[in-house]
Amino acid sequence: MNGREPGLADMERRSQTILMLMILVLIVFLIQLWLITIALEDYLAAHHTLALPTFLASGACFLVNLRLLRYLFDVDRKKEDRP
């Protein structure tokens, strides 16, 4: 026996899953930051060509993040369902 409580290994595994999700969300968010920087630069230069493409790309990134969030809720739900 290693003295660990039951479920501790499961908790660690879920922590790893959440860590992976967090890194993915962070990467997508950094892409969004890059996009908004481009949009700002374009706006300050009195151009209006990149605002819409960056807005759409940022929306796609947000949708990806929402999907990842849903997966996070699924991980939570599995924990609650466990007897």
Interface with another protein (CB under 8 A): 5, 8, 11, 14-15, 18-19, 21-22, 25-26, 28-29, 32-33, 35-36, 39-40, 42-48, 51-52, 54-55, 58-59, 61-62, 65-66, 68-69, 72, 76
Give whichever of 44 and 83 is closer to another protein, judged by the CB atom: 44
Q: To which residue do tokens 């481009």 refer? A: 38
Radius of gyration of the chain from its Cα atoms, rounded to whole angstroms? 19
For 11-18, the CB contacts below 8 A with 24+ separation are 14/75, 14/79, 17/75, 18/72, 18/75
The distance of closest approach from Cβ of residue 74 to another protein in the complex, given in angstroms and rounded to an integer, is 12
